[in-house]
Amino acid sequence: MHKMVEATAPGKVILFGEHAVVYGRPAIAAPVTRLRASAVIESSGDADVLLIAPDLGVRGRLSEAEPGDPLAATLHLSQSRLAIPKLGGFSLTVTSDIPIAGGLGSGAAISVAVIRAFLAYYDLAATTGRDQISALAYEVERLHHGTPSGIDNTVVAYEQMVYFKRQEPLDRIEVFSPPRPLRLAVGDTGLRSATRDVVGDVRSQWLGDRTRFEQIFDACGQIAEAGRGAIAAGDLAAVGRLMNENHEWLVEMTVSNPRLDQLVEAARRAGALGAKLSGAGRGGNMIALIEAETQATVTEALLAAGAVRVWVSDVG
């Protein structure tokens, strides 16, 4: 019997707390539902699995995939955790409009979309919760990022704003919704950045000067806590001020760069309530908190300042 299933997952932005979240401080992230990854699984007469990712120029067989191939890893992990005896007889096609290596959770979104499609194909979607999907996606993230915080897979799998704090024995994960959505302009620097490398460099700096970096992480954690309160109160001015403060601490961590600082400054001058880099930094994207009346001017200012693309999305 011919069978075809499709599943999608959103991108994400970190509103507060990137990098510090790896060291046990809270962070807040939100899904960007406008940007999505899609996975289609379709039955075939082939005993193998055909992997197709047109955006990446990938077309090959699962049996011949490299050990670190993310699509192969996602399928093998899903098979193992869900006790599927054998993989074969279908094709997996992945497409995404989320830029790779841009801090928008592209990897997590693709993983979650593939896992959701896999569950649907094997009729397991109804019995698998978002927490299990998130846990599976986290295992894939570990393969690519070394020590990811867990926030990407969480916000992408839950598709809601998430307050996240790494702790033992279980991470603190609280899903919440603001009284009104936040409108963000997301500005793409056009510079790709590998999360693993930036996270590793922050770790090296932390090992070299723990006292200073613990103070920086504490400050970012306090901003995230205050940010949650400001979001819950609908106090957009306070949210914007806290975003500005968070960016200054990220500059202290050396994870910003001239292009990001230029876009952040341009957004603020054009009337954004606040702006900061979002994600690992040293490239990727920045975000600006805007309102309907400043949307056009901030978008134009970001493009004029060198952003290669700007998306506007309501999050929350």
Q: Is 55 assigned a catalytic role?
A: no
Written as six digits, the tokens of 166 are 């790494």
| Catalytically annotated residue among 152, 171, 218, 235 | 152
Closest CA to 92 of 65, 73, 117: 117
Residue 63: count of CB within 10 angstroms of its CB = 11
Q: Encoding tokens for residue 244?
A: 């500005």
Query: Residue 55 in 3-state DSSP?
Result: helix
- Please state, in angstroms and rounded to a whole number, the distance separating the CA atoms of residues 162 and 175: 5
Beta bridge partners of 9: 37
For 232, the enclosing helix (H) or strand (E) is helix 210-233
How is residue 181 annotated by DSSP? P
Hey, which residues are catalytic here?
152
